[in-house]
């Protein structure tokens, strides 16, 4: 192959990560187990799935398995209509058998039941499954690969571990776009050629296998499955590049793709050798110098001090250390911090101030949280330190011997490729809106309204610091109204509160409905709403404006359950002289914090 042809050849390491994963998975879906993709349905996922379809062999099935799929559709069973027509039992194949030789897509994998996950995992391990249902016994083939679409929001949700541990790759689709799939990948002919050559691909050295196992152990992966998958991916990379053996570069790339997303701990720091006693070390050095002088009494010729070191051959690099460094360079900064403290990363943290809302991702400003791999797009920031850290483990492999001495200077520079780019990710708190819902009915409304006015002024003073907003909803007579829209203006709040009066019936359901609509409107604007109810929970006016305590309380409980289903943070302050079971039931329906405070003051309300 000529030098020009070598320059045009693009190795797998230079491909975008999402494209490389799709290509490797298309070579052997069943051998690689599966792929877990984090994130909800997006144009990137659909485009990535279309790319995978083009790379799969012609006729390879690709089926979606809804999360509510039962055993009849998943495993198969008796085809009743055909059996009655033919007069003998006929087996109806299920999804696991229909997808043989292809890919099974599982949307909302975090909601998959453990029983369904166990059946899929068993079929994935064996490549077949024994169907014993409806009086039928049949052995059906099931060699397929999995795609788990993880749409979970919090860290407490995740796909079943039985399926996750069988996935070779884990791809974070959040923040990825169509540009992350751009590039010249492999064609169907290239994939077919690499697949045919895969059984003959070996390792350059047996030490690479030991390095894979040691690296997996260093990151807390004590099962043999991650190491075996890493070895398989390394051989696939070598086959795609047209080589007969997998070298250290192939193993390093495979470790970044397979081991890094599954890391459970950081590798322990290297043990420092114990220093010897200073006197003993000095005596040993004197004896060595004396022995050397007696052996060679003639002074050495004038030679550079480093000539002897340069003449000696360089010691070969330790593959395990290279793999560990490569995997660490692929770990996000927040995951490294979480693994170092043995805590789960909180991707949806809250701001430090009491008025700050939930954290949201921002491409340009906010608190730096992590770096992700990807292409540098307009408006994004490159993390230079993480980019150089990702490129560092590859320098010995990228620097090839060059005959031209004029290129010696350029050869000593750090070679950074597109796959090394690390893009900064930021998080900034959303604006928070505290909505006070005040019961302005009854003879004691004057005392409650005075406390609410003081609480609003204290919250507005804090809003200047936390950049949050405060709103006021009052309900009395037969309706509820928004007396103070969300604002940070203290003067405007005082003017509105000065005209607030009380008296009349208690339309509790109307007050909760109005507060919920306002909270949903604030949430749609990208803010974090919080509800603060000041009421004794004794409604006597229903939603239709009719008097009656039983109907009013039933409507109030329905409205409270709507608040709980909307998952909006709420606090219910019971303003009755003594705590009531009905008020606690109302708070439980809203999934709110219940605070019975018979003796209220503005400072206590503001603190809660």
Q: In Å, what is the CA distance from 436 to each residue of 203, 294, 445, 518?
A: 68, 93, 15, 11
Handedness of CA 485, 489, 490, 492 (dihedral sign): negative
Phi first, then psi: what are they for 132, rounded to 5°? -135, 85
Contact 245, 206 (CB under 8 A): no
**CATH 3.40.50.410 residue window(s) in the chain:** 432-607
> Three-class SS of residue 64?
strand
Average pLDDT for 316-329 = 73
Which has the higher per-residue pLDDT, 339 or 510? 510
Write down the mean pLDDT value for the chain. 76
Supply the pLDDT for residue 350. 37
Q: By percentage, how much of the chain surpasses pLDDT 90?
A: 12
Cα angle value 530/536/539 (rounded, 5°): 100
Average pLDDT for 72-94 = 77
Q: In Å, what is the CA distance from 504 to each residue of 199, 246, 444, 501, 536?
A: 84, 82, 11, 10, 15
- Nearest alpha carbon to residue 476 among 435, 498, 430, 444: 444
Residue-level length of the chain: 608
Q: pLDDT band at residue 230, thresholds of 50, 70 and 90? A: very high
- Nearest alpha carbon to residue 479 among 435, 517, 513: 513
Average pLDDT for 162-175 = 86
Name the range with the highest mean pLDDT among 292-301, 352-361, 449-458.
449-458
Task: Give me the helix-helix angle, 549-565 and 581-590, nearest 10°.
Answer: 30
pLDDT one-digit tens code per residue, 16-75: 888 889 999 999 999 999 999 888 767 788 888 888 999 998 889 999 998 888 888 888
DSSP secondary structure string, 532-575?
EEEE-S---B-TTS-B-HHHHHHHHHHHHHHHHHTT-EEEEEE-
pLDDT of 449 > 70? The answer is no
Task: Characterize the bridge pairing of strands 593-596 and 569-574.
Answer: parallel
Supply the pLDDT for residue 75. 84
Q: Whole-angstrom Cα distance, residue 75 to residue 137?
A: 12
Q: Whole-angstrom Cα distance, residue 585 to residue 554?
A: 12
**Fold for domain 196-267+318-345?**
Helicase, Ruva Protein; domain 3 (1.10.8)
Q: Whole-angstrom Cα distance, residue 373 to residue 418?
A: 9
Of the candidate ranges 94-98, 348-352, 398-402, 567-571, the one whose mean pLDDT is the lowest: 348-352
Contact 186, 55 (CB under 8 A): yes
Q: In Å, what is the CA distance from 383 to each residue of 16, 261, 334, 418, 429?
A: 17, 20, 14, 13, 22
Contact 34, 102 (CB under 8 A): no
**CATH 3.40.50.300 residue window(s) in the chain:** 9-186
Q: Whole-angstrom Cα distance, residue 211 to residue 361?
A: 37
Which has the higher per-residue pLDDT, 270 or 324? 324
Q: Whole-angstrom Cα distance, residue 45 to residue 35?
A: 12
pLDDT of 137 > 90? The answer is no
Average pLDDT for 68-90 = 77
* HEC letters along 204-261: CCHHHHHHHHHHHHHCCCCCHHHHHHHHHHHHHHHHHCCCCEECHHHHHHHHHHHCHH
Task: Characterize the bridge pairing of strands 422-439 and 367-373.
Answer: antiparallel
- Nearest alpha carbon to residue 142 among 102, 105, 106, 109: 102
CATH of domain 432-607: 3.40.50.410
- Nearest alpha carbon to residue 437 among 403, 471, 461: 471
Contact 251, 211 (CB under 8 A): yes
Q: Whole-angstrom Cα distance, residue 237 to residue 252?
A: 11
pLDDT one-digit tens code per residue, 459-491: 666 666 666 788 888 888 888 888 888 887 766
CATH 3.20.20.100 fits 9-186, yes or no: no
No. of helices (H) and no. of strands (E), the chain: 26, 19
Q: pLDDT band at residue 310, thresholds of 50, 70 and 90? A: very low
pLDDT one-digit tens code per residue, 91-114: 778 889 889 999 999 988 888 888
Q: pLDDT band at residue 400, thresholds of 50, 70 and 90? A: low
Q: Whole-angstrom Cα distance, residue 564 to residue 562?
A: 5
**CATH 1.10.8.80 residue window(s) in the chain:** 196-267+318-345
């Amino acid at each position: 192959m000529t030098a020009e042809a070598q320059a045009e050849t693009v190795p797998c390491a230079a491909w975008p990560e999402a494209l490389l994963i799709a290509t490797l998975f298309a070579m052997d879906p069943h051998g690689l187990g599966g792929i877990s993709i984090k994130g909800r349905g997006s144009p990137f996922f659909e485009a990535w799935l279309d790319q995978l379809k083009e790379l799969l062999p012609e006729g390879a099935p690709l089926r979606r398995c809804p999360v509510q799929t039962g055993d009849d559709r998943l495993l198969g069973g008796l085809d009743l209509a055909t059996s009655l027509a033919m007069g003998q039992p006929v087996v109806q194949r299920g999804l696991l058998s229909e997808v043989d030789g292809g890919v099974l897509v599982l949307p909302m994998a975090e909601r998959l039941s453990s029983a369904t996950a166990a059946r899929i995992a068993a079929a994935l391990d064996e490549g077949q499954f024994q169907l014993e249902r409806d009086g039928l016994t049949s052995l059906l083939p099931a060699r397929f690969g999995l795609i788990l679409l993880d749409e979970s929001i919090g860290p407490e949700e995740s796909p079943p571990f039985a399926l996750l541990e069988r996935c070779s790759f884990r791809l974070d689709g959040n923040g990825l776009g169509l540009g992350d799939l751009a590039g010249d990948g492999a064609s169907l002919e290239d994939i077919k050629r690499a697949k045919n050559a895969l059984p003959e691909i070996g390792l350059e050295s047996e030490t690479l296998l030991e390095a894979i196992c040691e690296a997996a152990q260093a990151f807390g992966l004590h099962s043999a499955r991650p190491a075996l998958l890493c070895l398989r991916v390394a051989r696939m990379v070598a086959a795609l590049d047209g080589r007969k053996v997998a070298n250290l570069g192939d193993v390093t790339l495979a470790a970044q793709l397979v081991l890094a997303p599954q890391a459970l701990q950081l590798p322990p720091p290297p043990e420092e050798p114990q220093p010897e006693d200073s006197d003993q070390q000095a005596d040993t050095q004197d004896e060595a110098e004396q022995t050397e002088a007696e052996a060679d009494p003639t002074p050495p010729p004038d030679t550079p001090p480093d000539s002897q070191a340069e003449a000696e051959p360089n010691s070969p690099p330790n593959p395990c250390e290279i793999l560990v460094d490569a995997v660490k360079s692929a770990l996000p900064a927040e995951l490294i911090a979480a693994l170092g403290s043995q805590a789960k990363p909180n991707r949806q943290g809250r701001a430090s101030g009491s008025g700050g809302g939930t954290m949201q991702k921002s491409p340009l400003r906010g608190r730096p949280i992590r770096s992700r791999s990807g292409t540098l797009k307009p408006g994004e920031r490159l993390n230079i330190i993480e980019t150089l850290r990702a490129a560092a483990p590859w320098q010995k492999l990228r620097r090839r011997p060059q005959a031209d001495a004029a290129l010696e200077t350029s050869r000593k520079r750090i070679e950074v490729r597109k796959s090394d780019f690390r893009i900064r990710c930021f998080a900034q708190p959303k604006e928070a809106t505290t909505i006070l819902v005040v019961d302005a009915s009854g003879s004691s409304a004057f005392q409650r309204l005075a406390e609410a006015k003081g609480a609003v002024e204290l919250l507005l003073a804090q809003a200047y610091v936390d950049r949050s907003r405060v709103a006021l909803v009052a309900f009395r007579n037969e309706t509820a109204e928004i007396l103070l829209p969300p604002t940070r203006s203290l003067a405007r709040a005082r003017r509105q509160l000065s005209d607030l009066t009380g008296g009349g019936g208690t339309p509790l359901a109307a007050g909760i409905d109005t507060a919920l609509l306002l909270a949903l409107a604030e949430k749609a604007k990208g803010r974090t709403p919080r509800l603060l109810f000041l009421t004794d929970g004794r409604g006597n006016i229903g939603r239709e404006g009719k008097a009656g305590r039983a109907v009013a309380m039933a409507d109030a409980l329905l409205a409270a359950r709507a608040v709980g289903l909307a998952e909006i943070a709420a606090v219910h302050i019971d303003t009755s002289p003594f705590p009531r079971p009905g008020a606690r039931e109302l708070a439980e329906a809203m999934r709110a914090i219940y605070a019975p405070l018979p003796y209220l003051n503005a400072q206590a309300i503001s603190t809660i």
